[in-house]
Amino acid sequence: MTAANADKLADVTGIDPGAIEQGATIKSVYVYEAPVRLWHWINALSITVLAITGYFIGSPLPTMPGEASDHYLMGYIRFAHFAAGYVFAVGLLGRIYWAFVGNHHARELFTLPIFQRAYWAEVLTMLKWYAFLIPAPSRYVGHNPLARAAMFFGFFFLSVFMLVTGFALYGEGTQAGSWAERCFGWVIPLMGQSQDVHTWHHMGLWGMVMFVMLHVYAAIREDIMGRQSIVSTMISGYRTFKK
């Protein structure tokens, strides 16, 4: 929209012409389909429950007073952890399925064009942007190249590791013959012993916590300082580009 047209429309509507001209430059593109958005928020909730309950499983609360049979606090914590683990696992399987049947943005989480020079050039651009070395980033309809690498290595790989080690420990509790022990019982002898798996699983918890902190920071920062919407996109599905 030209400045003259903005002035003419402002005379009719009574709205500031600068606001009209700016609004005309905003473009929206549908990026994330409903299943992807639903998975994202359910996944965020399950990770929150897993992190809190996992911390208390690794560092239990002080002994409760009175008769032990009167309390089931750790039992409830463990149940919440196991239930959230199932939700997390089923959600990831559903997300993998949607990568095949959804739009091409749904596949970005599981693919990385590491052999394309242009991709690494854009990763460098985003590193400069996050380091405050350039005034503005490039525009991306889906994940930006740096976020894509972070999601692939920092979330997907770590999620698979946490599920494998988590179900191995779960299978140890359900004992020999259970589906978890049959499918993941090989993990414990591979990593040494049960305590080794516990230790690595607990370290993975802190790795996931660090990823979530960086993810939330980058999303809010990009919404404020970047050239496109981030947080609202995962609610509405539409990415809005600003002038």
Give the model confidence (pLDDT) of 150-193 as tens digits: 999 999 999 999 999 999 999 998 988 899 999 999 999 999 99
Contact by Cβ (8 Å): 152, 242: no
Model confidence band, residue 224 (pLDDT cutoffs 50, 70, 90)? confident
Q: Determine contact, residues 81/53, Cβ cutoff 8 Å.
A: yes
CB proximity list for 105: less than 8 A, separation 6 or greater: 31, 32, 36, 141, 142
Residue ranges covered by each domain of the chain? 1-30, 31-241
Q: Quick check: 197 and 169 in contact, CB under 8 A? A: yes
Q: Which CATH architecture has domain 31-241?
A: Up-down Bundle (1.20)
Nearest to 163 by CA among 178, 149, 183: 183
Of all residues in the chain, the percent with pLDDT exceeding 70 is: 88
The answer on pLDDT for 17 being more than 80 is no
Confidence (pTM): 0.84
Mean per-residue pLDDT, 46-63: 92
Residue 15 pLDDT exceeds 80: no
Higher pLDDT, 199 or 25: 199
C-alpha 239/C-alpha 243 separation (Å) is 13
203, 51 Cβ separation under 8 angstroms = no
User: Mean pLDDT throughout 2-19?
Assistant: 43
Q: For residues 204 and 158, what is the distance between their CA atoms, to the nearest angstrom?
A: 7
Q: Is residue 129 pLDDT above 50, yes or no?
A: yes
Structure tokens at 229: 């919407």
User: In terms of pLDDT, which residue wins out, 2 or 137?
Assistant: 137
Sign of the Cα pseudo-torsion (147, 232, 38, 166, in order)? positive
